[in-house]
Chains A and B, each alone.
Chain A
């Protein structure tokens, strides 16, 4: 069973609207949880990072939350833009950090 599950698998949203992506994980304990953005044909790029003691982190229009008790994280995109069309990957780092646990990604398509 995958240690990191993301939902929804894909979604289409109108430009200017908000959306929220979900990540449930079973990795425990963990060092940190990251959200990466992967544009088509490119490598993933880190958006946010949270340690187990943090419960929210923002990066511009992206806001990540973490509930370590329920082992859930979310990524909220505010006022979406066409450039937000990408796959968003939830990644959990166990202690030691070499073998990261990757979710399969949320594919977001923003349409005009």
Chain B
């Protein structure tokens, strides 16, 4: 049981390049999330997927797109990277159903992205 996995761990992009951050979870959770974490800013929600087949914008969605490929996988795409997107990106998942009582979000190890 690996929990939440993210690839890659590190990435350097030039301004204007595109890339996709991958996230997968093996806990059969139905909700998945993408956050970015910047110094002094805390974690900010980019997009989330409450269930397979749905996605919604979070607090800072501009410049990003997401795909909920299936129940396990949720990817984040930067179409044209900008230096302002230099950050650490975390994927998280959570069980949401009538039996869940604690609604804990489980986080992946993060992807450190630098845009030059």
Answer yes or no: are A and B bound together in one complex.
yes
Interface size bracket, A side:
20 to 34
User: How many residues from B make CB contacts under 8 Å with A?
Assistant: 25
CA distance A41 to B94 in the complex (A): 21
Looking at chain A's contact residues, the main secondary structure is loop
CA distance A44 to B107 in the complex (A): 6
CA distance A42 to B103 in the complex (A): 21
Q: Mark contacts of A17-47 with chain B using CB atoms, 8 A cut-off: 1 yes-contact digit, 0 otherwise.
A: 0000000000000011010000001111110
Interface residues of B (CB under 8 A from A): 4, 31, 40-45, 48, 50, 56, 58-59, 90, 92, 94, 96, 102-105, 107-110
B110 engages A89 (CB within 8 Å):
no
Query: Is A97 part of the binding interface, using a Cβ–Cβ cutoff of 8 Å?
Result: yes
Instruction: Report A40 CB to chain B, min CB distance, Å.
Output: 11
B104 engages A49 (CB within 8 Å):
yes
